[in-house]
Amino acid sequence: MANYLVRAVRSVEISASNLDRAAGFYGNVWNLQLQASEPDARYLRGTGRYHHILGLHAGPAPMIIRVVFDVADRDKLQALHRSVSAAKAGPLTPIVDLAGPAGGTGFGCKDPEGRNFAFVCGVMDHPGENPTVKDRPIKVTHVNLNCADHDATSAYFTDVLHFTMADDTDMLRFMRCGNTDHHSVVLARVKSTTLNHIAFEMPDLNSVMRGAGRMKDNGYPIEWGVGRHGAGNNVFAYFAGPDELPIEYTAEVEQVDETYVVRGPDYWRFPPGRSDQWGVTEPRSARLLRLWTIFRFSEDGWKVPGR
């Protein structure tokens, strides 16, 4: 197995223009569970072991504060810090004890295009997974990042953060790290440094369908899906959340190991008129395409990892 330094996406921290309304949505409709509250923040967990998978921070939206990556131990954290420091791609903090409700140790940095990342270990995670609940997300399984300079960001992920490429299509490059999911980060060839979407893993296809129904009942129509992607083979449904945050329910992402054969755009191209394997879904909505343009990373989200 490749010597991965990053284990997975742990959480995403975003700003919310109306904190209570956003927390209500992610708790009652998106179906996460409130784990911790601060006067200006709410932290929500899935059924997986991570302390929280979504942090909401009162502030001007749309804005993404940071993506937080999970690192297995202090040795790997230090190796990653050395690698990020040597790359000189952007500012970074020292390794520090984290002040947020999840505790832990880590550092923050900016990538070559100004995105804010944090890398953490030793977090106060839950002792075990919660029982699987139909239509309740388990974890954030991937983030999809639009790239104005796709080559620079892709090289950063492979050379500095030690991800590997899982597959490559005309629009998307799928990046793997230290778990068995086909991908944990996707780098989109969309000429912007905005967020493309955050994907929350559901237990199965039926849960994606039930979750999509619940979203529809609450006034959040499906913007793309339900369908099954090509690379990664996961089922999907996309929505616009509060502040027009692009979010995905997904399930059944392909589990891979080092024998997985990486393929390129010629292999993954769909026939004309199709945007998934099944051919049932309508194309992406105009609204979804607009969502890709609006969430940018904050200026200073790299400075305070863990909160």
| Residues that bind Fe ion in the complex, under the rule CB under 5 A | 199, 248
Q: How far is CA 171 from CA 5, 126, 168, 266, in A?
A: 26, 37, 8, 12
Q: Which is nearer to Fe ion, 80 or 172 (CB)?
A: 172
- If the CB atoms of residues 168 and 248 are measured against Fe ion, the closer one turns out to be 248
**What is the closest distance, in whole angstroms, from the C-beta atom of residue 76 to Fe ion in the complex?**
26
Q: Is 34 helix (H, G, I), strand (E, B) or coil?
A: strand
Q: Which residue, 50 or 224, is less far from Fe ion as judged by CB?
A: 224
Cβ–Cβ < 8 Å for 154, 112: no
CB of 252 to Fe ion, least distance (A): 13
CB of 43 to Fe ion, least distance (A): 23
Amino acid at 91: P
Least CB distance to Fe ion at residue 144 (A)? 5
User: Nearest to Fe ion by Cβ — which residue?
Assistant: 199
Least Å from the CB of residue 234 to Fe ion? 7
* Smallest separation, CB 27 to Fe ion (Å): 22
* H or E stretch covering 154: helix 150-155
10 Å CB burial of residue 251 (0-12, 13-18, 19+) is buried
Residue 167, number of CB atoms within 10 A of its CB: 25
In 3D space, the residue among 253, 121, 154 whose CA is nearest the CA of residue 200 turns out to be 253
Q: Of 121 and 140, which CB lies nearer to Fe ion in the complex structure? A: 140
Q: Which is nearer to Fe ion, 57 or 150 (CB)?
A: 150
DSSP letter (8 states) at residue 181: B
Q: CB of 274: closest distance to Fe ion in angstroms?
A: 17
Closer residue to Fe ion (CB): 99 or 171: 171
Structure tokens that stand for 35 in this block: 């784990």
Do 9 and 184 meet the contact criterion of CB atoms below 8 Å apart?
yes
Order the strands of the 185-188 sheet from edge to edge: 164-168, 172-176, 185-188, 139-146, 195-201, 246-251, 235-240, 224-228
Pick between residue 135 and residue 248 the one whose CB is nearest to Fe ion.
Answer: 248
DSSP letters spanning 70-91: E-SSHHHHHHHHHHHHHHTSS-
Q: Toward Fe ion, which CB reaches closer, 199 or 212?
A: 199
For residue 200, the minimal CB distance to Fe ion (Å) is 10
